Structures are given as C-alpha cells and as structure tokens.
C-alpha cells in the first residue's frame, strides 16, 4: 500500500470508537487487506507514532493471558488530521518514466525485439484483467469498486501498448537514423 496512508486509515477507523490494535488490524484487513494485509508490527509501530504525535490516546489497558492490551481512541487533533487528509486530493500519477517505457526504448537502442516486450506485457495485463474480472463477479460492492479501479488502469495501459506497437517502427528510425 504505497499510496495509502496507514496512519490516516487507522485514525479514521478509530472514529467509530476505541479499539485495540488487534481489532484495528482485523478491520483494516476486512476492508483493505485482501491484496496486502497489514502486519501486526506495522499496526503497533503506527499506533506508537500516532500516540507520540497526540493524534490518539490510550483509552484503557487490559491485562490478559499475554501482554497488556492497549485500547486506543482518536483525539480531536486526530479527527482534524483525518479531515485534512480526506479533503486533500491525491496527486495524479503521470507515469512519464515507467519501467515498461524504459524497456521498450532500451530494446530499440540495443536492437532487440521491442514488439516481443509489448506482446509479453499485453499477455500479462490480459491475465490480470481476467483474474480481476472473476474476483469482481464474486465480490461485494466494495470489492467490485476496487477491481473496477484496477481494470480501468489496466485498460489504459493496454491502449498505450497498442499505440506504442503502432509507433515502434518510427521510433526505431528516430533512435537509429
């Protein structure tokens, strides 16, 4: 989850009420972790940072059979921070220097078959699109929404792959006049 702020996500989950780290992880994984579950260590290190920054507070400590369990609650400063984060638009990613683009140009520079690179990538995109379409058809509405997001991005990539294939000969001539 490179683009997702784990701290802000955990803070927002605390708005429903105080929770233990275990409950936060389980709720996170239920909503966002199908493809990349959150590790317990990341939950507790994030909660320590949020506590240090005054965005959460310890609402209670329970003794049990193992280590003490802290219950965290969001502070007013934490709610303000979540509001600001939710209200800030995400920077659109222009993909101006993608690895795939680099591979195509390098293939041309080294006189390799760039079409083969595009064909291999197209096959991988189509494989993933089939997988996401199956997942979407059996998923709940939230899963359908995230699958649609990924599918739309893959469709845009496929359009680029087709356009690049159509321009390869001309690009090769520009690289090797």
The architecture (CATH level 2) of 6-87 comes to Orthogonal Bundle (1.10)
* pLDDT at residue 18, rounded to an integer: 96
- DSSP letters of 119-131? HHHHHHHHHHHHH
| Extents of the domains making up the chain | 6-87, 99-175
Per-residue confidence of the chain (177 residues) as pLDDT tens digits?
Answer: 334 689 999 999 999 999 999 999 999 998 888 888 899 999 999 999 999 999 999 999 887 767 778 999 999 999 999 999 999 887 877 776 688 888 999 999 999 999 999 999 999 999 999 999 999 999 999 999 999 999 999 999 999 999 999 999 999 999 888
Tell me the C-alpha to C-alpha distance, in Å, between residue 75 and each of 14, 134, 145.
9, 41, 31
Q: Does residue 43 sit in helix, strand or coil?
A: helix
pLDDT of residue 4: 62
Say how many CA atoms lie within 13 Å of 97 toward its Cβ. 0
Of 123, 122, 128, the residue nearest 158 (C-alpha): 122
Angle between helix 40-52 and 6-14 (nearest 10): 80
60 touches 42 (CB < 8 A): no
């Amino acid at each position: 989850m490179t683009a997702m702020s784990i701290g802000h996500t955990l803070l927002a989950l605390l708005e429903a009420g105080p929770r233990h780290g275990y409950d936060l992880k389980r709720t996170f994984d239920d909503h966002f972790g199908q493809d990349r579950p959150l590790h317990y260590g990341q939950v507790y290190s994030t909660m320590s940072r949020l506590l240090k920054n005054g965005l959460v507070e310890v609402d209670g400590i329970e003794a049990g059979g193992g280590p003490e369990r802290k219950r965290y609650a969001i502070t007013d400063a934490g709610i303000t921070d979540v509001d600001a984060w939710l209200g800030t638009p995400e920077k659109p990613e222009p993909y101006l220097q993608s690895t795939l683009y680099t591979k195509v140009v390098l293939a041309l520079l080294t006189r390799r078959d760039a079409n083969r690179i595009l064909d291999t990538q197209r096959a991988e995109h189509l494989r993933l699109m089939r997988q996401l379409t199956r997942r979407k058809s059996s998923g709940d509405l939230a899963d359908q929404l995230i699958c649609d997001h990924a599918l739309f991005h893959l469709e845009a990539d496929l359009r680029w792959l087709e356009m690049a294939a159509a321009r390869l000969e001309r690009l090769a001539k520009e690289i090797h006049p």
